[in-house]
Structure 1
Amino acid sequence: MSDCFKSLEAIGIIPVVVINDAAGAVPLARALVEGGIPTAEVTFRTEAAPAAIAAMAQQVPELLVGAGTVTCAEMARQAVEAGAKYIVSPGLNPAVVRWCLEHEVPVLPGVATPTEVETAMGLGLTTLKFFPAEQNGGVKMLKSLASPYKTIRFIPTGGVGKENLNEYLGQPNVAACGGSWICPPALVDAGDWAGITRLCREAVAEMHGFQLLHIGLNSRDEQEARANCEVFAGLFGFPVIELPGAFFAGTAMEVVKKPFLGEKGHIAISTNSVERAMAWFERRGCRFRAEGVARDEKGLIAVYFEQEVGGFALHLRRKP
């Protein structure tokens, strides 16, 4: 997977943008970055698209800008010369794919059938746009494609919105999702950048799904841990569950059998994807510890922030 596609997967959401006036490109780009989604697929449906891409690429370098609705090799060339870092097509056009591969430009052609997937594989691609997603079976179709095409990742676009975003992102063969709901044309044309930032933040919050999972307390030893857990569990009628390294009072409190990270203990926050959450926090300047990392065959299970709050370590954990 290219670095570009890795970045898109870490971001998780790709806004599909139609710009009619290039003067709005830079404030739009800044609104996306401020809202926590530092990428945009600027569609080549308007005359303003090349200038908009150029302005975004030059003046907001933290935004990963791509070009969408690219339907011929000449259009791909114009987009890349303007500053596009990736190309997106509605369909599988071999001429566009070959031009991009020859010029080492990441390309996401649209596919909707097994035949198109296999054609793309024959061209050497492993990350594809699934379009239009909802009209072509949505999540059910992606589940069907997962078994025969285990090495292929998809970016579903078309009918994806806040209400079904996590249903798509929860599929193992989905790298990210594209959609226009974050940048409605009416808001773009009106220059309502605050409104776009708000929609970005809502989408990011929905994607991460942060929730308090449990509070963890450190103990001197197993005996103290058991006693503290039994007191807390007894007050609220929670069951006491013993695990190798800790006691749990239901799901509300973990009492660790020895001193661990955090002066007093830890606060565990659950999220839909630890990897995406980490990338989002790292873009905001946060750092993570090397200790306490847990993984399985699906990826990261748990990580700890370097910083503490009130003597408690902060702990991200993947939702079941």
Structure 2
Amino acid sequence: MNDVLKQLSKIGIVPVIKIDDVDKAIPLAKALCNGGLPCAEITFRTAQGEEAIRRVAKELPEMLVGAGTVLTVDQVDRAVAAGAKFIVSPGLNPKVVKHCIDIGIPVAPGCSSPSDIEAALEMGLTTVKFFPAEQLGGVNFIKALAGPYVNVTFMPTGGVNASNLLDYLSFNKILCCGGTWMVKADLINEGKFDEIERLTRQAVQSMLGFELMHVGINGKNEDEAVKIAKMFETMFGFEHKVGNSSVFAAKCIEVMKTPYVGDNGHIAIGTNFIERAVAYFERNGFAFDMDTAKYDAKGNMIAVYFKDQIGGFGVHLVQKK
């Protein structure tokens, strides 16, 4: 997969922006970055789109900015010259797609039928935009399309919002989702960048879905671990269960048979999408001990510890089931 598409996948949500006042492009982009989404699809729906891309690409090089609603080869060239790192179109225009491929810019054309997808595959693409997503049948229609096209991933846009975001992202053929609910035109035009940042942060937190899963206690040996777990069972009715390396009291307390990560023990935080969560934390300056990472039989990461302890506790992310 192209590196740009990999980055979009790790971010998960792509704000789709219509700029009416180019002077609002930079504060808008900063609000998105501060809220946890360092990417944007700035559309060519207005004459200010090209200049907005240019300013954001120059002032915020850490932001992954692309051009949307690209309808012509000329718009592709103007977008790339302005600094766009990817191109998105509402439909599949063979001339536009071929030109993007020829100049080496990732492109996601809008596809809404098997015929569209086969045309995209014929041109060498395996990631397409699905637009307008909700009006065409939403995630259920995407699942139906994905059946015969097992190597295709989708970027649904159109009707995706805070209430249905997880329905889309929970399907493993969804690369990322495009959305406008955190960047509504009235919020941008009225300069409500604090509200945009709040809605952006809310969207990221909803996507990642962090919650406390269990607390770990370091036991000296198996006998002590069992004893500790049984004490929680006696006190609170948390039934203990002996495992290979630890003893659980219900699902919320894990007692290690031998001391493990963390001076005092560990804390497990669940997340909806562990690889997106890892990318999110790394973008914010946190580091992971990848030697502690665990994977399932399909090679998907299911757990990993942060490098630094908090209050003497190791902290690790756990993929929710």
Query: TM over 0.5, yes or no?
Result: yes
Find the counterpart in structure 1 of residue 3 from structure 2: 3
Report how many aligned residue pairs link the two structures: 320
Find the counterpart in structure 2 of residue 314 from structure 1: 315
Q: Deviating runs (4+, > 4 A) in structure 1? A: none
Which shifted more, 143-152 or 154-163? 143-152
Q: Distance in 2 between matches of 1:105 and 1:117?
A: 19
Q: Where do residues 109-128 of structure 1 align in structure 2 (5 Å cutoff)?
A: 109-128=109-128
Q: Distance in 1 between matches of 2:301 and 2:157?
A: 26
Deviations 1:146-193 (A, max 9, x none): 221111111111110010101100001001100111100001111111
TM-score scaled by length of structure 2: 0.98
Amino acid at match of 1:201: R
Find the counterpart in structure 2 of residue 303 from structure 1: 304
Deviations 1:87-123 (A, max 9, x none): 0000011111101000000101011111111110110
Q: Distance in 2 between matches of 1:291 and 1:311?
A: 19
Q: Where do residues 1-320 of structure 1 align in structure 2 (5 Å cutoff)?
A: 1-296=1-296, 297=298, 299-320=300-321
Q: Distance in 1 between matches of 2:140 and 2:52?
A: 36
Q: Distance in 2 between matches of 1:142 and 1:256?
A: 43
Structure 1 SS opposite 2:92? coil
Amino acid at match of 2:230: E
Q: Offset at 1:145?
A: 2.0
TM-score scaled by length of structure 1: 0.98
Structure 1 unmatched runs, 5+: none
Q: Offset at 1:294?
A: 1.0
Q: Distance in 1 between matches of 2:125 and 2:63?
A: 24
Amino acid at match of 1:54: R
Amino acid at match of 1:180: T
Amino acid at match of 1:2: N
Q: Distance in 2 between matches of 1:172 and 1:34?
A: 27
Q: Percent identity?
A: 47
Structure 2 unmatched runs, 5+: none
Amino acid at match of 2:171: Q
Deviations 1:182-233 (A, max 9, x none): 1000011111111110110010010000000000111111111110111012
Q: Distance in 2 between matches of 1:147 and 1:304?
A: 35
Q: Offset at 1:298?
A: 6.2
Q: Distance in 1 between matches of 2:86 and 2:116?
A: 20
Q: Distance in 2 between matches of 1:155 and 1:72?
A: 20
Q: Distance in 1 between matches of 2:227 and 2:8?
A: 47
Amino acid at match of 1:12: G
Amino acid at match of 1:173: K
Structure 1 SS opposite 2:290? coil
Q: Distance in 2 between matches of 1:38 and 1:287?
A: 18
Amino acid at match of 1:80: V
Amino acid at match of 1:146: A
Q: Offset at 1:239?
A: 1.2
Amino acid at match of 1:210: F
Structure 2 SS opposite 1:309? coil
Deviations 1:246-303 (A, max 9, x none): 1111111011111111111110000001100000000010000133211122611001
